[in-house]
Amino acid sequence: MTTQALAGVFRRIGGATLDSIARLGFAARFSMALVTHLPGAFRRLSLTLREIYFAGVLSLVVILVSGLFVGMVLALQGFDVLQRYGANDSLGVLVALSLVRELGPVVAGLLFASRAGSAVTAEIGLMKTTEQLSAMEMMAVDPLARVVAPRFVGGVISMPLLAALFSTLGVYGAYLVGVKLIGIDSGSFWANMQAAVDFRYDIVNGIIKSVVFGTAVSAIAVFEGYNARPTAEGVSTATTRTVVGSSLAILALDFVLTVFMFRGVH
Amino acid sequence: MNRSTLDLWVGIFVTIGIAAILFLALKVGNLLTVTNAPGYRVEAAFDNIGGLKVRAPVKAAGVVVGRVEQIRLDSHTYQAVVSMNIDRGFEFSKDTIASILTSGLLGEVYVGLSAGGDTKMLANGDRIAKTQSAIVLEKLIGQFLFDKAASGPAPASGTPANAANAANAASAK
């Protein structure tokens, strides 16, 4: 009896290991196929535009409102600490650097993953469940080129724009709170910010981050959708996996990129 | 959704996205005034650079004229050698004095250049001969206490040993 139970445990561990290895193999094969189909997304431009609309334009409201509020809160909290050291004028620097380097790409990425990534996964997963993908294959239309690649490209294009909008609205929110509400001098707010923020070092690195996050989120979203079990439960599991997986991927990638970009001494 | 409406919305989205990047570049990062034109490199050796960091500004009369590019230790003289990139368009005479200064009590540390009267100008790769090191606050306080103790109403003897004892007593307080 005990030997049987023990054997069952080992069988389950072995099965899970084999499953995850097979999944990894499928992910690798899927990524390769996706890369070869990327030029197709630009040939079918109208499909890609449609995906930019769903991933980018429909995410605008949540990104803009969150950016504004994050900037305003950052200004209030930053002012609270900075005024103890008489460094009120550095508020612009604090807000701009934290938004452009970190918060813009990361928070916009997290919002993008839960707003657009989950939608993409659910859509592709449901297409698979209702056998639309198989029907396309029957008609000699490659679902990778027709369904997956435009969604991937749409996400990769939308994400840097959304992150830049998030940072911009954040800086504007900080300006509203810092200058209009608290009454920091507008000149020193902007001048200190401009003196401290470097285009190549801060802004370009922030944009690179957002491109990497956009690629990661879109890749995870289309993969989970394509790999979903064709049941209602499978689609819901895949959607959850997209949100959790891409959020963790964003935070982990952010750490790795930050280590390479901002090591303090450079 | 209608095809042209969709195109319009995507167009608006991409436009404001690019406008946001431009805003970050121009208004936040001030790309216009910071010229990334390659300048020329000069070096200066300091006994002590205090808290100077790479990328700290180089200022002349308070105007930023360049950036610190590299800081290394000369293993023969045990001096810190600071390489600075001075923007093209600013010229300084050969006898310019480089000093390490701090803006305010807690402000950033920067290299200040005060121009001399030489007619020859510094060129790429030159070394500034006259330098002034950073003022280390701890040393300054130590010196102040020492002076205070030496000149204070201490017992008349005034030998160096007594003065040193008095200084120790003062710092122990």
pLDDT tens-digit map of A150-160: 999 999 999 99
Which pLDDT score is estimated for A135? 93
The whole-angstrom separation of Cα A14 and Cα A232 is 27
**Taking the domains of chain A in order of start, what are their residue ranges?**
2-261
- Give the domain range for residue B22: 1-34
A240 reaches B (C-beta below 8 A): no
What angle (nearest 5°) sits at the alpha carbon of residue A205, between those of residues A148 and A265? 140
Does residue B157 share a domain with residue B89? no
Does residue B126 share a domain with residue B68? yes
Q: How far is B25 from chain A (nearest CA, A)?
A: 6
What is the token pair recorded at B101?
């200064």
Which pLDDT score is estimated for A128? 93
Does residue B101 share a domain with residue B21? no
Does residue B129 share a domain with residue B64? yes
If you write DSSP's letter for every residue of A136-192 in order, what string do you get? HHHTT--HIIIIIHHHHHHHHHHHHHHHHHHHHHHHHHHHIIIIIII---HHHHHHH
Which among B6, B17, B34 is the nearest to A161, CB-wise? B17
pLDDT tens-digit map of A159-202: 999 999 999 999 999 999 999 998 888 888 888 888 788 888 88
pLDDT tens-digit map of B9-19: 899 999 999 99
The whole-angstrom separation of Cα B141 and Cα B151 is 15
φ and ψ at A202, to 5 degrees?
-100, -55
B5 reaches A (C-beta below 8 A): no
Which pLDDT score is estimated for A63? 95
Does residue B121 share a domain with residue B46? yes
Q: What is the ipTM of this complex?
A: 0.80
CB contact under 8 A, A197 and B3: no
The whole-angstrom separation of Cα A80 and Cα A63 is 26
Beta strands in chain A (DSSP E): none
Exposed/middle/buried for A14, CB within 10 Å: 0-12, 13-18, 19+?
Answer: exposed
pLDDT tens-digit map of A58-108: 999 999 999 999 999 999 999 999 888 878 888 989 999 999 999 999 999
Does residue B70 share a domain with residue B124? yes
Helix (H) or strand (E) holding B30: none
Rounded average pLDDT over B18-46: 79
Does residue B117 share a domain with residue B88? yes
Above pLDDT 70, what percent of chain B? 82
Which pLDDT score is estimated for B173? 46
Which pLDDT score is estimated for A16? 92
φ and ψ at B57, to 5 degrees?
-75, 150
pLDDT tens-digit map of A211-239: 999 999 999 999 999 999 999 999 999 99
A186 reaches B (C-beta below 8 A): no
Helix (H) or strand (E) holding B126: strand B126-128
A203 reaches B (C-beta below 8 A): yes
Query: Nearest to residue A153, comparing CAs of A94, A227, A95, A214?
Result: A214
- The per-residue pLDDT of chain B, averaged, comes to 80
Does residue B49 share a domain with residue B27? no
* Contact by Cβ (8 Å): A41, A149: yes
CB contact under 8 A, B28 and A53: no
CB contact under 8 A, B29 and A50: no
Give how many domains chain B has, as a whole number. 3
